[in-house]
Amino acid sequence: MKHLKILTANVHHDDQIELDAYERRGGYQAIRKVLKMDPAEVTAEVKASGLRGRGGAGFPTGVKWGFVPKNTGKPIYLLNNADESEPGTFKDRLLMERDPHLVIEGMMIAAWALGANWCCAYIRGEYSFPALMQQRAVDQAYEKGYLGKNIFGSGFDLDIVVHRGAGAYICGEETGLIESLEGNKGQPRIKPPFPAVVGLYGCPTVVNNTETLAALPWIMLNGASSYNSIGTEKSTGTKLFSASGHIKKPGVYEVNMGYPILDFINNECGGMRGDKALKAVITGGSSVPVLRADELEGVTLDYESCMEAGTFVGSGGFIVMDETTDMVEACLNLQHFYSHESCGQCTPCREGAHWVEKIVGRIYHGGGSSSDLSLIGDVTKQIAGHTICPFGDALVVPVQSFYKKFPEEFNERIDSALVSQIGNTHV
């Protein structure tokens, strides 16, 4: 299958970080076209393209823009969610480091459609170099007059601010991001009201992922029909996947939606490292259910196929595990992350995350009991669906899917512990 490069067409050019080089390869032509269109036309075109949010939720972008109320008398804000803290995900980093002006142009297009005159790129604290490259590109755009007052002589004013967070995973949740930008502790808000109505500083706000915004220039230059002809009927366009784990060629790959998972591993990722057998795959970052190798036949990289298989496209963090992987240890590693990153606002998440890590750790270190798996089930049931934001659901998904998909490895640890305990008792 031939994959169209919409987002990564120019990332291999070292000079793509320069405004002149970006413009020489067709950059800033889409925004010139867009500024001659009615903002409602732009929104309609994005809606017709079928573009869905690439940060994890997969919500239709044009529909999300349509939720913003008009004529409220308040400013409208656009926030680029470049927090990208999901374990296994590093796709937005590539765009910010190698093609930062593409991200800026995408933000400009969205801002015009929404009627926003102020945008912010919120970048995770650990992303010091991507933030540096994005800020450098913003500075170049201001120097050229492409940002600020009366851009391209259109009468449209637009300012973009690059802001680094303090390294909290929870700020990838849109209302946690907003709270952080306002100078508060990065803890999610209760919804409703939704950010589109009451967001940053109490004003209408749209939060879009970096990859989502970067797709806009191509869509506006080539048309919605060209974009939705790629991929599948409900999962249109291309998608970036951050591939890591036991593969020969880790990296970021742009593929058409609907591409078979096994072909992706063998063709793009170079197959399994050391030619070992495939054991499991996490398709969309650590918060989506793991799939066993024997479940992958016929599954394609799109929202519908992954959901039918019992998992999600998510943020595109594609993690491959071979036959040597200890699934109990892998599960413990993920649970340690989630227990550390809980913002502490909701009791089920704050307390439950540490309990789950403790129980999984007990099993891994040889102190597990026959009741531990049912105990994990009881604790996770009290977390999922009982928190303000989806973080609680995200932390229970790995442990639930790991012990359900690989019960033999958890039971083997527990049985070994019981045998050891019995032996010690007889001694």
Tokens of 190: 């209760």
In 3D space, the residue among 89, 51, 93 whose CA is nearest the CA of residue 212 turns out to be 51
* pLDDT at residue number 420: 61
CA neighbours within 13 Å on the CB side: how many for 362?
Answer: 16
DSSP string, 81-127: EE---STT--HHHHHHHH-HHHHHHHHHHHHHHHT-SEEEEEE-TT-
In 3D space, the residue among 316, 405, 331, 337 whose CA is nearest the CA of residue 365 turns out to be 331
CA neighbours within 13 Å on the CB side: how many for 134?
Answer: 30
Q: Say how many domains are in the chain.
A: 3
The answer as to whether 28 is a domain residue is: yes
Length of the chain counted residue by residue? 427
C-beta separation of 115 from 78 below 8 A: no
Q: Are residues 98 and 196 in the same domain?
A: yes
Provide the residue-wise pLDDT of the chain in tens; the chain has 427 residues.
Answer: 678 899 999 999 999 999 999 999 999 999 999 999 999 999 999 999 999 999 888 899 999 999 999 889 999 999 999 999 989 999 999 999 999 999 999 999 999 999 999 999 999 999 999 999 999 999 999 999 999 999 999 999 999 999 999 989 999 999 999 999 999 999 999 999 999 999 999 999 999 999 999 999 999 999 999 999 999 999 999 999 999 999 999 999 999 999 999 999 999 999 999 999 999 999 999 999 999 999 999 999 999 999 999 999 999 999 999 999 999 999 999 999 999 999 999 999 999 999 999 999 999 998 888 899 999 999 999 998 899 998 999 999 999 999 999 999 999 988 876 666 565 554 4
Q: Are residues 215 and 288 in the same domain?
A: no
The answer as to whether 6 is a domain residue is: no
Name the domain boundary from 228, 254, 282.
Answer: 228
Q: Are residues 88 and 122 in the same domain?
A: yes
* pLDDT at residue number 370: 84
* pLDDT at residue number 423: 55
The answer as to whether 245 is a domain residue is: yes
| Other C-beta atoms lying within 10 Å of the C-beta of residue 125 | 14
C-beta separation of 196 from 61 below 8 A: no
Pairwise CA distance, residues 371 & 353, whole Å: 18
Determine if the peptide bond prior to 193 is cis (ω within 30°). yes
Name the domain boundary from 287, 302, 322.
Answer: 322
Q: Are residues 294 and 335 in the same domain?
A: no
The answer as to whether 5 is a domain residue is: no
Q: Are residues 30 and 177 in the same domain?
A: yes
* pLDDT at residue number 70: 86
Q: What residues contact 337, with CB distance under 8 A and at least 6 apart?
A: 87, 169, 286
The answer as to whether 57 is a domain residue is: yes
* pLDDT at residue number 1: 66
Q: Are residues 40 and 136 in the same domain?
A: yes
Contacts for 354-361: CB closer than 8 Å, 24+ residues apart = 355/379, 356/380, 356/383, 356/395, 356/396, 356/399, 357/332, 360/328, 360/331, 360/332, 360/335, 360/399, 361/332, 361/335
Q: Are residues 68 and 217 in the same domain?
A: yes
The answer as to whether 8 is a domain residue is: no
Pairwise CA distance, residues 208 & 110, whole Å: 9
CA distances, 266 to each of 189, 191, 243, 269 (Å): 42, 42, 12, 6
Name the domain boundary from 288, 303, 322.
Answer: 322
Determine the structural domain holding residue 87 and report its residue range: 14-228
Q: Are residues 175 and 139 in the same domain?
A: yes
Q: Are residues 271 and 366 in the same domain?
A: no
In 3D space, the residue among 96, 53, 80, 42 whose CA is nearest the CA of residue 160 turns out to be 80
The CATH number assigned to the domain holding 293 equals: 3.10.20.600
The answer as to whether 392 is a domain residue is: yes
Q: Are residues 158 and 23 in the same domain?
A: yes
Q: Are residues 82 and 138 in the same domain?
A: yes
Q: Are residues 335 and 398 in the same domain?
A: yes
Single pTM value for the model:
0.93
Give the SS3 label for residue 206: strand
322 alpha-carbon distance from chain centroid: 24
The answer as to whether 133 is a domain residue is: yes
Residue 322's DSSP bridge partners are: 278
The CATH number assigned to the domain holding 88 equals: 3.40.50.11540
